[in-house]
Amino acid sequence: MRIGAIVVHCVEFDRMVEFWSQALCYVPREPPNGGWVVLIDPTGRGPNLSLQSRDHRPAHRSWLHLDLYTAERESEVERLVALGDRRYPWKTAPGADFKVLEDPGGNLFCVVQRDPGGS
């Protein structure tokens, strides 16, 4: 068994598709249809990210979030903020290896400093 897709519900569907496609360099498996799209890693290495349209925001923040690994955390954070992300004021210990961001739909995720090939 393996993870086939991570599903994110979103109010601003088109904006989220554009953001996550650019953020991860993913492409739609098929054109969005009826408020649903599966974004895939064109290299075949990463899990699918599915986006599903909703008509309202969740009442509470989810406890599930993505950790995005990169060897260039600070430059990736700047790139993601330029794409429409917001820095989230998470209280972290000094020297933490991650930064918390909020995507255009209000979902939190972490950008984590990892060496290439690290897990």
Among 9, 30, 56, give the residue marking a domain's end: 56
pLDDT of residue 118: 55
Structural domain harbouring 9? 1-56
> Strands 66-70, 108-113: parallel, antiparallel or unpaired by DSSP?
parallel
Q: Which of 110, 92, 94 has the alpha carbon at shortest distance from 102?
A: 110
**Are 72 and 52 members of one domain?**
no
Q: Which of 19, 34, 56 is the last residue of a domain?
A: 56
User: What pLDDT is attached to residue 61?
Assistant: 75
Running along the chain, 119 residues long, what does each successive block of 10 average in pLDDT?
Answer: 84 95 97 96 94 87 85 95 94 90 91 75
pLDDT of residue 115: 75
**CATH number for 15:** 3.30.720.120
From 16, 41, 56, the end of a domain falls on 56
What is residue 13's three-state secondary structure?
Answer: helix
Note the pLDDT of residue 63. Answer: 73
- The answer to whether 46 and 4 are in contact (CB under 8 A) is no
- pTM for this predicted structure: 0.80
Task: Report how far residue 55's alpha carbon sits from residue 36's, in angstroms, rounded to the nearest whole number.
Answer: 13
pLDDT of residue 119: 56
Question: Which residue type occupies 66?
Answer: L
Output the pLDDT for position 92. 85
Residues 8 and 44 in one domain: yes
Can you give the pLDDT at residue 14? 96
pLDDT number for residue 62: 76
